[in-house]
Structure 1
Amino acid sequence: MTEDLEALRSAPVLETERLLLRPFTAEELDAVAAGEAVAHFAHGFPSAEDMDFARESLMAGGYFFTESVYARLAVVEKSTGEVVGTAGFVGPPIDDELEIVGSLAAGRRNRGYAQEAVTALRGVAFRDPAVTGIRASVPEDNAPAEQVLVAAGFVRRGTPGLETEYFLPRPA
């Protein structure tokens, strides 16, 4: 039982047909925070959002951001070995819901990678029996992200502000 709980809390390594989602190394996190281009980072990675995530992670000591099941993971394109983006959760569940986040380098968009990552993360989220759903906040001008979420079964929830929230309830 203790091993099961530990596995649930540890950062996963997820594999899809074309992607590997894995924790960032300390060196990668430092490079992302600094906005540095590393040899195995795809052109256009990291984005400003990725740099913000890495800086916040380093300031917070890293655990929930790099070592737990709630981590934001490096999205690695298996065919090239390049880090092409990030995908994961903002942190532990709030009100029994997880918030999913992610980004892809511009040159790797429109290839179905986001859909693969969302599907893999959905499996992680619902391994925890306490999680009743997954939410995502999307800027109103980000139609591609909205399309990915809707295709994955998320439904739009009304929210005030400049972002639209989507929700995926736990499957019955």
Structure 2
Amino acid sequence: MKALVETKRILLRAFQDSDAEAAKRFWGDEEVMRYCLGATLHDKLPMTLKCYRDCHEAKGISVYAVVEKETGDVIGACGFNVTGELQEVELIYHFAKSSWGKGYATEAAKACLELARENGSVKRIHASVDPNNMDSHKILKKIGFVYAGTEWFEDTAQEESVYELRLS
């Protein structure tokens, strides 16, 4: 499948059915997902991948597979949850533990911002972060997001930090 964005070390592409096994190492891992309502059940991963692929086909923007160029391995996911109109989307990223601390999340998030700018419809990107996820706070600040306060989230039953980036 064709890469949508390529950086020095990674490429982003739409998810394929064959990525379900790799997705177990991030979305299916309790430790990786501890700040995000826990791991996705492994048997639900193929549907998750299909939903993100369908979103890309329908809206031109979605959450993507992050592929390490050197190995060809899917090491994580990064991109945008689209819940309504494209003017406002949510940035998310999740990476396999073996990829932590290597700058991949920052590199992938920057690449996704490039996709959002190219899309032309996206005006505001937001991200919510568990107060205890210090690495995510650092990443968002590093790529230009601005702290916008806290907000109560029913799904996590807690106050979370909210960051935003305006593209227009």
State the TM-score, normalized to the length of structure 2: 0.74
1:96 paired with 2:87, answer yes
Q: Partners in 2 of 1:153 and 1:91 — Cα distance?
A: 20
What do residues 3-55 of structure 1 show as CA deviations (whole Å, max 9, x unaligned)? Answer: xxxxxxxx9621111001111112324x467x4xxxxxxxx444345746836
In the alignment, structure 2 segments of 5+ residues that lack a partner are 34-38, 153-158
Secondary structure (helix, strand or coil) at the match of 1:157 reads strand
Secondary structure (helix, strand or coil) at the match of 1:21 reads strand
Aligned to 1:116: 107
Q: Partners in 1 of 2:28 and 2:140 — Cα distance?
A: 21
Aligned to 1:3: none
In the alignment, structure 1 segments of 5+ residues that lack a partner are 1-10, 36-43
**Residues 147 and 140 of structure 1, relative CA distance in 2, 3 Å threshold:** same
Which residue type is aligned with residue 119 of structure 1? K
| Preserved contact between residue 53 and residue 62 of structure 2 (Cα < 8 Å) | no
Q: Partners in 1 of 2:49 and 2:77 — Cα distance?
A: 16
Aligned to 1:41: none
Q: How many residues align?
A: 151
Question: Offset of 1:59 from its aligned partner?
Answer: 7.9
Task: Give percent identity, aligned residues only.
Answer: 30
| More strand by percentage | 2
Q: CA RMSD in A?
A: 2.9
Q: Partners in 1 of 2:9 and 2:68 — Cα distance?
A: 6
Question: Offset of 1:94 from its aligned partner?
Answer: 4.2
Aligned to 2:162: 165
Which residue type is aligned with residue 8 of structure 2? E
> For residues 19-168 of structure 1, what are the structure 2 equivalents within 5 Å?
19-29=10-20, 31=21, 35=24, 44-48=25-29, 49=33, 51=40, 54=45, 57=48, 63-64=54-55, 68-91=59-82, 94=85, 96-161=87-152, 162-168=159-165
State the TM-score, normalized to the length of structure 1: 0.73
